[in-house]
Amino acid sequence: EQGILRYRGIPIEELAEKSTFVETAYLIIYGHLPDRNELKNFSDLLTEHQNIHEDMKYHFEGFPSTSHPMAILSAMINASGCFDLTLMKGGCSSQFDSHVAQLISQVRTIAAFSYRKSHGLPIIYPKKAYKYTANFLHMLFSQPYEDYELKPEVVRALDLIFLLHADHEQNCSTATVRMVASSQANLYASCAAGVCALWGPLHGGANQAVVEMLVDIHKSGDDGSKFITAAKDKNSGKKLMGFGHRVYKNYDPRAKIIKKACDEVLGSLDINDPLLEIAKKLEEAALRDSYFVERKLYPNVDFYSGIIMRALGIPVEMFTVIFAIGRMPGWIANYKEIADDTKSRISRPRQVYMGEPLNTYVPMSKRK
Ligand code: SDX
């Protein structure tokens, strides 16, 4: 009800202000803030594993250029696991820390490579000198003849987006990772399944759906009021994307942080995006409208995140991939919890069967 979010007990607002995505990933996976040594070792492991096997490029070539990056991401996580047979075993082996760093580091490289391939651009390899988020932006936007200019405010904004998506209790995709992990499938298989669950527009796909909704409203010249009316009409097939939440019946604390960051990032980059004004108008109208107030529908993490990603030059089809990169530590922490629990059992939901309790086989000649 209060809209409180804490990672291992630390308020999200404090981490957003003082931490980084890599430090927060360590906190979520290992349960405590790393000391200087632990953070350096973790960061070095991420650098050590930043590349993917060179033969992975043949897999990229197999995808049509129109492939959605979430399809590529899920497939390539499993594909990259095939190049290290120690990854194929489930549970937490002695190499778990290395596997964790491999997955967190490589998911970023795979995402960048899939973006480059789908835009007919040459692959840009990671640089040892760059830290996690800067390296991702470098792989996304540099050219063979010219490095992308890494503006600190851009790196910080994307790092904040990753951090704010890092974990969120038993959401649809995390529950999927736990389900797959419970069969003692390996870490890569479990997180590849999480990518598929996250893809849906009711879940992580909402950030892409929000921007597509705002673009449509902008193009139609609507000031948002027509759309709000449609979103309240069940027959319209429209929802106010980025609004509502299974758990938060109040303002998603992440949305508050991202909305503030929107103004800061667009201001510092001197960008005036009409979609931000439309989003603010929609929020204002919805928070005054009894339909939304009675149903306790507030902005969630996806409502403003796409506007920042647009400002950073990230294409809309990559938005949910950014969410997946951010959510990887949460998925891994949940996988680890199951793998570490010697008493954990396979997940097996019960069902209430509503059909005929007993039937008999009817030969084709006797069927209607
Ligand atoms: C994420 O679980 C997590 O933690 C997820 C997440 C994470 O970090 O992992 O926080 C990330 O997925 C955020 C949610 C992103 N999805 C969207 O923004 C899509 C739009 N939102 C809705 O589809 C919906 O609000 C959900 C899916 C988020 C929540 O669905 P619920 O809890 O099942 O809500 P509901 O469908 O029961 O809705 C209750 C009522 C219904 O109307 P009535 O039947 O009471 O008349 O509210 C209406 C719904 O029709 N409603 C909406 C609405 N969301 C709910 N009406 C218009 N627009 C909306 N967005």
Read off the pLDDT of residues 224-244 as tens digits, 9 standing for 90 and up.
999 999 999 999 999 999 999
> Which residue minimizes the CA distance to atom 12 of ligand 1?
203
| Residue 131 zone, left/alpha/beta (φ > 0; ψ -120 to 50; rest) | beta
C-alpha 125, offset from chain centre? 22
- Residue at 137: amino acid letter: L
Instruction: Give percent above pLDDT 70 in the chain.
Output: 100
Q: How many CB atoms lie within 10 A of CB 88?
A: 12
| Cβ-proximal residues to 107 (8 Å cutoff; 6+ apart), any chain | 73, 77, 191, 324, 325, 328
Catalytic-labelled residue, pool 68, 203, 245, 252: 245
Helices in the chain by DSSP H: which ranges? 12-18, 21-30, 36-48, 56-62, 69-81, 96-118, 132-141, 152-164, 172-181, 187-199, 206-220, 225-232, 253-268, 274-288, 290-294, 302-311, 319-340
This prediction has a pTM of 0.95
Predicted local confidence at residue 88, as pLDDT: 80
Q: What is the DSSP letter of 271?
A: -
CA of 202 to the centre of ligand 1 (A): 7
Our answer on whether the CB atom of 194 is closer than 6 Å to any ligand 1 atom is: no
CA distance 149 to 269: 13
Catalytic residue flag (residue 245): yes
Nearest one of 274, 289, 280 to 231, comparing CA atoms: 289
The Å distance, Cα 241 to ligand 1 centre, comes to 8
Query: What is the pLDDT at residue 25?
Result: 98
What are the backbone angles phi and psi of residue 6, rounded to the nearest 5°? -130, 140
Distance 63 CA to ligand 1 centre (A): 33
Closest to 324 (Cα-Cα) out of 181, 141, 192: 192
CB 346 within 8 A of CB 121: no
Give the mean pLDDT of 287-306: 95
Instruction: Give one word for 221, left, alpha or beta, with left for phi > 0 and alpha for psi -120 to 50.
Output: left
Mean pLDDT of 208-223: 94
Beta-carbon count within 10 A of 58 CB: 9
Over 90: is that where the pLDDT of 199 sits?
A: yes
pLDDT level of residue 1 (50, 70, 90 thresholds): confident
What's the chain's length in residues? 368
CB of 242 within 6 A of ligand 1: the answer is: yes
Rg (CA), the chain: 22
Distance of alpha carbon 303 from alpha carbon 324, whole angstroms: 16
* Distance (Å, whole) CA 335 – CA 347: 13
Contact predicate 193/177, CB 8 Å: yes
pLDDT tens per residue, range 69-117: 999 999 999 999 899 888 887 777 788 999 999 999 999 999 999 999 8
Using CA positions, which residue lies closest to atom 33 of ligand 1?
A: 246
Residue minimizing CA distance to atom 32 of ligand 1: 246
